[in-house]
Amino acid sequence: MSHPAPPPALVPAPRRALPTAPGRAPGRAPVLDADTTIEEPPGTTAAARWLRGTLGPALGLPLPPHHPGSPSRTRVRLALVPDLAGELGGPEGYRLDTTAHSVTLTAAAEPGLLHAAQTLRQLLGPEAFRRAPVTARRHWPVPAVTLEDGPRFRWRGLMLDVARHFLPKDGVLRYLDLMAAHKLNVLHLHLTDDQGWRIEIRSHPRLTEVGSWRPRTKIGHRASALWEEKPHGGFYTRDDLREIVAYAAARHIAVVPEIDIPGHSQAAIAAYPELGNTDVVDTSALGVWDDWGISPHVLAPTDTTLRFYEEVLEEVLELFPPDAAPFTGFSRFVHIGGDECPKDEWRRSPAAQARIRDLGLDGEDGLQAWFVRHFDDWLTARGRRLIGWDEILEGGLAPGAAVSSWRGYEGGITAARAGHDVVMCPERAVYLDHRQDPGPEEPVPIGFVRTLEDVHRFAPVPPELTEEQAAHVLGAQANVWTEVMEDQGRVDYQAFPRLAAFAEALWSPLPPPAERDFAEFESRMAVHYARLDALGVAYRPPGGPRPWQRRPGVRGRPR
């Protein structure tokens, strides 16, 4: 019995190819055509809808439901077999099997069927990634394969910073489609920061009336002398966010909102000055920050501030329901930031110092931990889970809280050893705003050089962890901070093709980083670039940026 290699151009690479089933003739490929139907038993509606609504228009095929007696030579068969969950590695695993007259997608749950459908799309070629046919072709052969596939890690995420540069709703929906195409399943939306507030809150309308717009924007790194002298901003209405969450859920992607507390809050203070430390700063004179970096203006540790943010989070919980993407289990999470909180205002504030004394806290660091613990308790009481950047470890965490480890692996190691769940996103490994090459033509070079190969060799689990501790590593996410990304094209350039390499590092059963065959991955990417072209992704070409992707004369911060 033969053991064929998996099709060479699938990204991320599947777990394994299986031998051809007994009694089936190898090499006889099914062909999708105008008569092809979809056999869709109960529970397979989401996958059938995606095939019919996304793949069908690209191929020019109607893909109607299969009925007994239909004239179809070939059918796409969807099968849910819950008992296969253990064999396929959980709800996201699947099998894709072809015979001469059928393509069978089998999974234990809906997410696996959708992943199988995405693999089928890749097998059909780059034209399957367009929105309408580009040729008169009406016959689409599917390679004769039998694949068994499933993810290595549960949390496979992308963080989009929509606070520094606003990404309109359609852009977010587009990125959800790009995530689904690469089998990613968590979108972390960074909704608030010093430079903008992006979520409509009915109880506090000035957060968007005032906080969502800044008067001008620094072009390049904060050391740059260049400015764009026009207002920048925008926000998502409540219905926009409901649409985003529903669109994500239909693709079994969880959306995790981030509301920054207590630092990175100047936009909120500009809208409601009483949230700031009014005894040391004239907060009424503050506007939404127009520069990059970390604002010194942070939230005041008052009961008024706590109640204000409780009211904000009450609306956040309504807009981001805990069961939106139930198979991931990650829709329960709410990110509260908790990072980079300057303490100078608290040191100078009599009110803050009185609070420290009254609560018996360990100085200003203890005051920040008090903020985190308050909202940890508040979210836990409502059946949610707090997650924050690794600074929230300072002062101790409740058992259910999780940590996004960004300052290297150390925070994640500490958290996992203490029994906390961890999402690994170390800056030097998976910050996609960092430059991709040391060459002078990279647009606004930020941070460390992280090439496509570097990202492909990313390993989320540090070797220092025991097997029991490593089980707390839920997975990882790639972070896209947008200070120097003024539009969708710049986001595309920084994210791709590295996001494809990241997706493979999280999905596929790769060997240790030093043993990975990057040349083989590059050979598959040579085909995958054509898919990205069909999707309209403005990725960085292997040979370097195209002329219009460069930003000559705009200062960055290479490290």
- The H-assigned helical ranges of 19-97 are 45-50, 56-59, 85-88
Task: Give the Cβ contact number of residue 87 at 10 Å.
Answer: 12
With 0-12 CB in 10 A as exposed, 13-18 as middle and 19+ as buried, what is 548? Answer: exposed
Give the separation between CA 162 and CA 196, rounded to whole angstroms.
9
Cα 499 to its chain centre, rounded Å, is: 10
Contacts of 13 (CB under 8 A, 6+ apart): 6, 504, 507, 508, 510, 521, 524
Q: Kindly calculate the radius of gyration of the chain based on its CA atoms and give it in whole angstroms.
A: 25
With 0-12 CB in 10 A as exposed, 13-18 as middle and 19+ as buried, what is 135? Answer: exposed
Q: Each residue of 462-494: b (16+ CB within 10 Å) or e?
A: beebeeebeebbbbbbbbbbbbbbbebebbbbb
Give the separation between CA 181 and CA 528, rounded to whole angstroms.
11
Six-digit token pair at 6?
């998996």
Whether the Cβ atoms of residue 252 and residue 328 lie closer than 8 Å to each other: yes
Among 527, 537, 493, smallest CA distance to 11 is for: 527
Q: Is 333 helix (H, G, I), strand (E, B) or coil?
A: strand
For tokens 């002329």, the residue is 547
Give the separation between CA 12 and CA 520, rounded to whole angstroms.
12
C-alpha torsion sign, points 128, 129, 131, 132 = negative
For tokens 């393509």, the residue is 103
Q: Note if 340 is an active site residue.
A: yes
Give the separation between CA 184 and CA 11, rounded to whole angstroms.
12
| Catalytic one of 127, 243, 311, 340 | 340
With 0-12 CB in 10 A as exposed, 13-18 as middle and 19+ as buried, what is 326? Answer: middle
DSSP string, 192-249: EETTEE-B--TT-THHHHTTTEES-EE-SSTT---EE-S-EE--B-HHHHHHHHHHHH
Among 168, 254, 181, 209, smallest CA distance to 504 is for: 181
Could you give the residue numbers annotated as active site? 340
